[in-house]
Amino acid sequence: MPDLFTYGVASGDPLPDRVLLWTHVSVPDGVPVPVEWCVARNPLLTDVVARGTVVATAEHDHTVHVDPSGLAPATTYYFAFEARGVASALGRTRTLPTGLVDRARFAVTSCAKFNAGYFNAYDRIADRADQGDVDFLLHLGDYIYGAANTPPAGQTPGAEIGRPFDPLDACVTLDDYRTRYRQYAADPALRRLRASLPTIAGLDDQELADGAWSGGADDHDEAVHGPWSARLAAAFRAREEWLPVRRPDPSDPSRVFRAIPLGDLADIVLTDARSRRDQPLPGAAMLDQGRSALGHQQRAWLLDAFSSSTAAWRVWANPSVLSTTYRADVPEPLRTALLELKLTAPDGSQCDPDRWDGFAPERDAILRHLEEGVVADVVVLSGDIHVGLAAEVHRDPFTAGTAEPLAVEMATASVTSQNLDDKLGYAYGGSAAAQAQLLEALPHAQWADFDGHGYLLVDVDHDRLRGEWWFVDDVLTPSGGEFCANAYEVERGLARLLPAMTTPG
């Protein structure tokens, strides 16, 4: 009998009483297919707590989303689907805790470029999920890359490893985006990961188009690609079909920003710094007070989320790095490194307008809100820049002196997207001199790694939050090794990064 569930199963957006379950039914004729589902307390699916039937239709690309409620908090569940007498793979998921919560452990990822490498980091996170070591995956975006297989001039081609994008051209239509998500969902490591633990998915630009903003993208020409609004709607629709995501606002298919409470332990606030922002602009325009990376609705929500949170920690899931990565007149090899990593403007003469550096007034308004509101114990988790970075956050890090930081920031390296050793063609560790210069140039940066790929492992309790940067040994082949490259802890009440590189227990 043919496997109807070619893309496996997934779960996401867990809450204390529910978690979204996902699958896809592969049928050649496009007809509606009734799909039975069940959730149980045991892997044999005999201790069933919920079951039902939904219909997979061509309208939603035969993807299936089920949102069973009435589940118990902080509990592991197993689930599966069945259609036409064929059973899906078994999925495992976990609800969020509520009330008094002692501890949480989760993985953080961003930037999984299919044609740049194998998703070995996802396999390692799935290993941890199999051991009950992590509660969920927080994906900060660039879950897919909608880009063309052959990058435009000026962008680095990847190594040829036999994983070309499908389709080869950049995604523009709904069918393009669906095809790209399908390719990702079929990847063995990602398929395994999705069946292993719930995903909380954010958004960066590559799910939409390179350099996306509210009115367009670097990689969008209306004369060639048609209206941006149509492309944006297609990208959001395919994302909603192929990811296990629940709309934070049922009336708004483009809303990503949302809060994820972990009882009294932490409030995760997840933002979208791409789809609602003003156009990134170089030069003096970056200092225009009226420009926004978040848009007014999301910004008001974020400030209120920080102010009203009563949990021990406020964890800002922020797709694109918050801290500045630019300083004028840096020496070689740092200058080349920053250019290659796109941590400055393309000519090196100013900061990169594409990230928070390009929206400095709004960034300062948010940090001023933390400062004036005495909003403490804020940890910013970031991605997008493809390199590991640990930094202390000041309104102006260059004049901060001995002032206490307002927050700390931990940026995860990419799952696969090229960073400095890939671009300059040397082995891991070859960027040591440039990394040391970065720490000299940027007083807020405590640690940087320009070469590793992997994930950030966050372990948080009421006393401290610990971040460990786990790197895989290779991305150009399927490979099973990983190592902890560094670790920092931050204690409640003190926004400082404390070196904590010990053998993890």
CB-based closest residue to Fe ion? 111
* Minimum distance, C-beta of residue 386 to Fe ion, in the bound complex (Å): 6
Per the CB < 8 A criterion, the answer to whether 19 and 71 are in contact is yes
* Minimum distance, C-beta of residue 300 to Fe ion, in the bound complex (Å): 28
User: Can you read off the two tokens belonging to residue 109?
Assistant: 């990822």
Considering only 123, 142, 362, 449, the residue that binds Fe ion (CB under 5 A) is 142
* Minimum distance, C-beta of residue 323 to Fe ion, in the bound complex (Å): 17
Cα(first)–Cα(last) distance of the chain, in Å? 46
* Minimum distance, C-beta of residue 1 to Fe ion, in the bound complex (Å): 40
- Judged by beta carbon, residue 111 or residue 200, the one nearer Fe ion is 111
Per the CB < 8 A criterion, the answer to whether 90 and 80 are in contact is yes
- Judged by beta carbon, residue 23 or residue 414, the one nearer Fe ion is 414
Q: Which stretch binds Fe ion (CB under 5 A): 107-115, 275-283, 400-408, 471-479?
A: 107-115
- At 184, which amino acid appears? Y
CA dist., res. 379 & res. 429, Å (int): 27
- Judged by beta carbon, residue 11 or residue 417, the one nearer Fe ion is 417
CA dist., res. 446 & res. 412, Å (int): 14
By CB under 5 A, is residue 377 in contact with Fe ion? Answer: no
* Minimum distance, C-beta of residue 451 to Fe ion, in the bound complex (Å): 16
CA dist., res. 156 & res. 153, Å (int): 8
Considering only 111, 140, 407, 485, the residue that binds Fe ion (CB under 5 A) is 111
Bond preceding residue 478 cis, omega within 30 of 0: no
User: Can you read off the two tokens belonging to residue 460?
Assistant: 């948080």
* Minimum distance, C-beta of residue 252 to Fe ion, in the bound complex (Å): 25
- Judged by beta carbon, residue 150 or residue 308, the one nearer Fe ion is 150
Nearest to 107 by CA among 132, 84, 139, 130: 139
* Minimum distance, C-beta of residue 302 to Fe ion, in the bound complex (Å): 22
Per the CB < 8 A criterion, the answer to whether 415 and 172 are in contact is no
- What sign does the dihedral 81-85-86-90 (CA atoms) show? positive
Q: Which stretch binds Fe ion (CB under 5 A): 110-118, 356-364, 403-411, 472-480?
A: 110-118
Q: Which stretch binds Fe ion (CB under 5 A): 50-58, 111-119, 224-232, 447-455?
A: 111-119
- Judged by beta carbon, residue 111 or residue 465, the one nearer Fe ion is 111
- Judged by beta carbon, residue 325 or residue 417, the one nearer Fe ion is 417
* Minimum distance, C-beta of residue 356 to Fe ion, in the bound complex (Å): 15
Determine the size of the site formed for Fe ion (CB under 5 A): 3
CA dist., res. 381 & res. 86, Å (int): 41
| DSSP secondary structure letter of residue 190 | H
Burial call 5-35: b when 16+ CB within 10 Å, e when fewer:
bebbbbbbbbbbebbbbbbbbeeeeeeebeb
* Minimum distance, C-beta of residue 248 to Fe ion, in the bound complex (Å): 23
Q: Which stretch binds Fe ion (CB under 5 A): 136-144, 148-156, 164-172, 346-354?
A: 136-144
CA distances from residue 349 to 297, 344, 368 in whole angstroms, order as listed: 33, 8, 27
Bond preceding residue 333 cis, omega within 30 of 0: yes
* Minimum distance, C-beta of residue 111 to Fe ion, in the bound complex (Å): 3
Per the CB < 8 A criterion, the answer to whether 306 and 314 are in contact is yes
- Judged by beta carbon, residue 181 or residue 301, the one nearer Fe ion is 181
Nearest to 269 by CA among 304, 295, 241, 237: 304
- Judged by beta carbon, residue 341 or residue 370, the one nearer Fe ion is 341
- Judged by beta carbon, residue 111 or residue 330, the one nearer Fe ion is 111
- Judged by beta carbon, residue 93 or residue 417, the one nearer Fe ion is 417
CA dist., res. 142 & res. 357, Å (int): 19
C-alpha neighbours within 13 Å on the C-beta side of residue 276: 18
* Minimum distance, C-beta of residue 411 to Fe ion, in the bound complex (Å): 12
- Judged by beta carbon, residue 176 or residue 210, the one nearer Fe ion is 210
Nearest to 79 by CA among 5, 28, 186, 139: 5
- Judged by beta carbon, residue 142 or residue 267, the one nearer Fe ion is 142
* Minimum distance, C-beta of residue 471 to Fe ion, in the bound complex (Å): 17
Directed axis angle between helix 296-308 and helix 360-372, to 10°? 20
CA dist., res. 154 & res. 136, Å (int): 37
- At 374, which amino acid appears? V
- Judged by beta carbon, residue 18 or residue 277, the one nearer Fe ion is 277
User: Can you read off the two tokens belonging to residue 202?
Assistant: 């954010």
10 Å CB burial of residue 269 (0-12, 13-18, 19+) is buried
Site string for Fe ion, 398-427 (x = CB under 5 A): -------------------x----------
Residue 462, φ and ψ in degrees, nearest 5: -75, -10
* Minimum distance, C-beta of residue 414 to Fe ion, in the bound complex (Å): 6
Residues that bind Fe ion (CB under 5 A): 111, 142, 417
